[in-house]
Amino acid sequence: MTRIAPARLLALAALLPLATSALAQQKIEQQMSYEQFKASGLDKLSAGELANLNAWLEGKLEVETAKAAEGARQGAGDDRRGLAAERQARDPVSAAITGAFSGFGKGRQFTLDNGQVWQQIDEASLSARLDNPKVRITPSLIGAAWYLAVEGYNTRAKVQRIK
């Protein structure tokens, strides 16, 4: 297992509150597409109920961020984002798919230029033919799910890392 250099740990610890603050300011209705928001039934909440949910999520985010900061301080430098593990980094992954991208489809695998391989595990669909598109893979706010988004498109696919 590799260790993170002390200077890198300090930089990470200094940036963590800024990232947390930016995420905490984003309400759940801003993080979901309209279709996801409606499908989850959250559109039926009153303004007060939605505000309470957002406050609860903000508290959860603060707790998870504190855990992540503690993990960074302990020096876990192995890049295991998205892999099943007792502890894993929850930083978004920014990369490019190597080769041709032919859209989303359950079971499709996406090999990134950083060597990671992710597989789609939901029914999301996207029809597109692109070469080496830039992607961003982000963890869910709560839970262990990860979502892949192709730059320039709003549709996200739920994915799991397989390598």
Q: Does the reported pTM lie above 0.85?
A: no
The widest CA-to-CA distance across the chain, in whole angstroms, is 49
Joined together, the tokens standing for residue 160 give: 């799991």
Q: Please tell me whether residue 1 adopts helix, strand or coil conformation.
A: coil
pLDDT in tens, the chain (163 residues): 455 555 565 565 656 555 555 555 678 888 888 888 888 888 898 888 888 888 888 888 888 887 777 776 665 455 666 665 545 678 899 999 999 999 999 999 999 999 999 999 999 999 989 999 999 999 988 888 999 999 999 999 999 999 8
